[in-house]
Amino acid sequence: MFGRYEIQKELGRGGMGMVYRARDTMLDRVVALKVLGEQLSSSEEFVARFSREARAAARLNHTNIVHVYDLGDVGGRLYIAMEFVEGRTLGAYLKPNERFREAQALVLVKEAARALAVAHEAGLVHRDVKPENIMVTTQGVVKLVDLGLAKEIMSAEEAQHTQTGHTLGTPAYAAPEQIWGRKDIDGRADIYSLGATLFHLVTGRPPFQAVTSAIVTMKHLSEPVPDPRTVVPELSEGLHVLISTMMAKERDERPPNALALIDDISLVQRGQLPAPRDAGGWSPAETYDGPAVPDPVHAPAPTLDSGQLRSLEEALASAIGPMAKVLVRKRAAAGLSIEALCDDLAEQIPTEPERREFLKRVAFFTQAQTAFTPPPMTPTGERSALRTGLRTAVSQKTTVPQMDARPASQATDAQLAALERALANYIGPLARVIVKKNFRMTPGLETLVSKLAAQIESETDRQKFLNDVKNLT
């Protein structure tokens, strides 16, 4: 026992302490319990850093971020009780000579960028973004974990009165300003690390490699970002440009914030190049005025007053947290119809039940014009596919063979297992997660197979997959 927590097993250990799977005997729930190491408990510096981690993470409430439940002290040792996540880290998937397909990697990184947008909006920088700190749950939800290095963003003026900072982060993914030990680290350092993570996902190796960490850090400072196509030639030009922009040596040349990065990723997913922009400083998300993701709906601009906008913000905030205000104002300014605006906002919500609840809460906005008909919860078209979990968009049209249109919920366990095995032949171990996630969200077997085929990057392989499963019914 550790206080009120029953230790079940050790999950891992790091520079600050140990992490255990434990049961909260008071609330009867399983948690991830992070305990400060004994050797650090007497250090005021480390205790302050450990406590800062808990306070920082507790301020964040978002589907893509691991939640903090409790902070306390047992026998002079501090602990944090956090949401226990069943799943695997991206690092665990990256076995030797294995990599993610481009479309998959872009979806994973896009979800991580959503988490970073929330953290940055709250004034926090993660400082250690890497494959091992991004998890995919058994439900297919991407989670940003280990805010142990999170630090409140410091202004340039404050930095002038502070000594040079410590280098934090993992050398293979650390931004140049972290390596230099600058104190005025902002969210663009996380964007750099996420770019290095993206490089690793699509090539199977970090962007810079060497026999020692010191040489790796020197390469981050002095060598140009490698072209991932030298490792995997079939990767797109857009991906190369995206990674180069994210990993620019000068942070003013990177996307100014995570929302701008999300827009850039969306462009690459559409087969386009990231939008060029002038170099500029770090800008809070709410002041970002970069290119919006094109929307296929062309309708008169909604006429919403400030009170209606606040109602939309509150409804969306219940699902995605403080980024709701930014998204509502930005999307409302895009000139969408009221129905299209509500549909667009619903697509920002990563889970199906929360999307349905949001659409119920905002139905009254369109009742004055027409009887409100919620958009179909099964996304249609490339743009919607890009916004839901681990599904990815493909530029080519795939012809799905005619199949039984029974609801996917009626599929047998044997059919689902067969789909998992068939998909795994083309995309690897993520097949199980993707099948389970799409099975819950897709109403018909034909549509389910179509969504699964969309995970496969090669048109030839997609057709092979469809042939593999056409006899399931």
Non-local (6+) Cβ contacts of 202 within 8 A are 99, 100, 101, 102, 105, 228, 232, 235, 239
Q: What is the CA radius of gyration of the chain?
A: 23
Are 352 and 440 spatial neighbours (Cβ–Cβ below 8 Å)? yes
130: left (phi over 0), alpha (psi -120 to 50) or beta: beta
User: Which uninterrupted H or E stretch holds 119?
Assistant: helix 102-121
Is residue 295 part of the annotated active site? The answer reads no
- Give the CA angle between residues 394, 136, 327 to the nearest 5°: 65
Q: Alpha-carbon distance 100 to 30, whole Å?
A: 31
Cβ–Cβ < 8 Å for 61, 67 = yes
> How are strands ordered across the β-sheet holding 17-24?
5-13, 17-24, 29-36, 77-83, 68-74
Sign of CA dihedral 443, 444, 446, 448: positive
Burial of 330 (0-12, 13-18, 19+ CB in 10 A): middle
User: Could you tell me the sign of the dihedral formed by the alpha carbons of 114, 119, 122, 123, in that order?
Assistant: negative
Find the catalytic residue in 128, 186, 190, 263: 128
- DSSP type of residue 407: B
Tokens 């439940």 label which residue? 69
**Which of 204, 221, 252, 256 has its CA nearest to residue 428?**
204
CA-CA distance, 75 to 3, in Å (whole number)? 9
Catalytic residues: 128
